Structure 1
Amino acid sequence: MVSSDFKPSVFHPYYFIRKGLVSKIQEYSGAMKGKMLDFGCGSKPYRAFFNVQEYVGVDFVNPGHPHDNEQIDVMYDGKTIPIADNTFDSALSSEVFEHVFNLEDILKELHRVLKPGGTMLITCPFVWKEHEVPNDYARYTHFALKHLFEKNGFTVKTLDKSGNFVEVLHQLTVLYFYDHWYMKLFKKIPLINYIFFFFFIVVPNIGGTILSSLLPKHRQMYLNNVILVEKNA
């Protein structure tokens, strides 16, 4: 079961970005099979979506993201994944690549531990605030990611996006009011905190949902890259 924090309602301040992620990961989950790697697994929030023989989570020590109560199977040093060549049939890496400074080196490592023909599903943000600082290094376009994958032994099967221009605008509006007003000023004030939360988080989430369904889906501005690749045989 996916927790409500990663499969949120309109009462969640990260509603649009996480709604888009959970929808796309579920959509492409059927491409994963056999022994599967979750690279940068954290709490394995999407584990329930994958019907695989074995699910192995790998992560590393990140001062911006404590791993308390997370079920990580293998820790790595940020450079080398301590797993043998050609081990995994498939892999997932969700919201990790922006935290990897040496991304090309890690792509080589992911290529190494995947079997020939193995499939990998990746998500990473295009529009989002700085997070898990100081380990937040990059935002990527489709063009950059396609180049990096093809350069490092992968074939890109699908280039997709989550979110659209309207959802980005509403998500950033909610984020501003939540981070800079609600959390810093109003959260501890009884009654006012509920009023503020309703009008500046819930209402924009509902309004953005309605407008997104009615207005043209311009996707030059979007929230997340969603990419499916295959290791070249």
Structure 2
Amino acid sequence: MHTPLHPQWLVCGRNLKLIEWLKGFGGDGIVLDIGCAGCWPERFLPGNCHYVGLDYPETATEWYRTAPDIFADAGRLPIATKSVDVALLLDVLEHLDSVDHAIEEIARILKPGGRLLIQVPFLYPLHDEPRDFTRLSRHGISNLLQRYGLVVEQCLAVGTPMETAGLLTNIAISKVAWDWVSRKSPLMPLILVIPFFVVIINLAAKVLSWLAYDNDFMPFSYQVSASKPH
């Protein structure tokens, strides 16, 4: 994953801003990680934070084999109103069949002044099917949060146009190779040249990104920090 040989090398490092936000939380408040999976954010929170991992029963037990602190549906949180300091919704929103119910619940449980961190894909393939329902632009995310009284502080577009194009190309090539293998196609020997193409695409996308003007025209994901007004 950390070398250009990997089809998703261009995704590496995307969590650096999230980690910065996590490390910056002060106080000894409650951090609720909704859709926690392996609970990776806990490693970067200050030691005095009280981390609580929550996940959907099917996702935790059948897909990821994880043990959250709480089993629940993001649209019906068994959490007291105005009791949570920080809510995390990292790579989860696209898997919820009702994003409105989830954001409404998060707005309810957050304390005044509480924060919500979201990471969500935009230009990215279907994954974890059949529970992949939604893609929202930055405008859609802002509109969704505002409907429930949450204020967007930062919305970062992750991935330059060239990085996103390179990432999607590499994923498409890898999917073709996987199909050749799974179907025992006579084209299987061609997979030997795929690492060469992956490296070239990764490096070309990175160099062209450095040469291009900065813009958020086609990111592969968004990272959002929002708050609940006092």
Q: 1:46 to 1:64 in 2, by over 3 A?
A: closer
The answer as to 2:223 corresponding to 1:230 is: no
CA contact (8 A) 1:20 1:163 kept: no
- Structure 2 residue corresponding to 1:213, chosen from 203, 210, 213: 210
- Structure 2 residue corresponding to 1:198, chosen from 179, 195, 203: 195
The answer as to 2:3 corresponding to 1:9 is: yes
Paired with 1:45 and 1:149, the residues of 2 have a C-alpha distance of: 25
CA contact (8 A) 1:21 1:224 kept: no
SS in 2 for 1:132: coil
CA contact (8 A) 2:37 2:60 kept: no
- Structure 2 residue corresponding to 1:179, chosen from 175, 182, 187: 175
Letter in 2 for 1:44: C
Letter in 2 for 1:171: L
CA deviations 1:140-162 (Å, max 9, x no partner) are: 01111111111102111112111
CA deviations 1:106-148 (Å, max 9, x no partner) are: 1111112221110111011110111111111111011111111
Letter in 1 for 2:221: N
Letter in 1 for 2:8: Y
SS in 2 for 1:208: helix
Partner of 1:50: 45
- Structure 1 residue corresponding to 2:67, chosen from 68, 71, 83: 71
Partner of 2:22: 29
SS in 1 for 2:6: coil
What is the TM-score when the length of structure 2 is the normalising length?
Answer: 0.86
CA contact (8 A) 1:10 1:206 kept: yes
Partner of 1:41: 36
Give the drift of 1:59: 1.0
Answer with 86-95 or 158-167: which moved more: 86-95
CA deviations 1:57-110 (Å, max 9, x no partner) are: 111134699444323111113531112222221121111111112111111111
* Structure 2 unpaired stretches of 5+: none
Paired with 1:64 and 1:28, the residues of 2 have a C-alpha distance of: 25
CA-based RMSD of the aligned residues comes to 2.6
Give the drift of 1:207: 2.4
Give the drift of 1:45: 3.0
Paired with 2:172 and 2:197, the residues of 1 have a C-alpha distance of: 9
CA contact (8 A) 1:64 1:134 kept: no
Letter in 1 for 2:156: D
CA contact (8 A) 2:121 2:135 kept: yes
Partner of 1:139: 135
Letter in 2 for 1:184: D
Give the fraction of aligned pairs with identical amino acids, expressed as a percent.
26
CA contact (8 A) 1:64 1:133 kept: no
- Structure 1 residue corresponding to 2:106, chosen from 110, 123, 128: 110
Paired with 1:204 and 1:97, the residues of 2 have a C-alpha distance of: 29
* Structure 1 unpaired stretches of 5+: none
CA deviations 1:24-46 (Å, max 9, x no partner) are: 31232244342211111111233
Paired with 2:196 and 2:216, the residues of 1 have a C-alpha distance of: 27
* Displaced runs of 4 or more, over 4 A: 62-65, 186-189
The count of residues paired between Structure 1 and Structure 2 equals 224
CA deviations 1:149-189 (Å, max 9, x no partner) are: 111021111121110100011001100011122x2335999
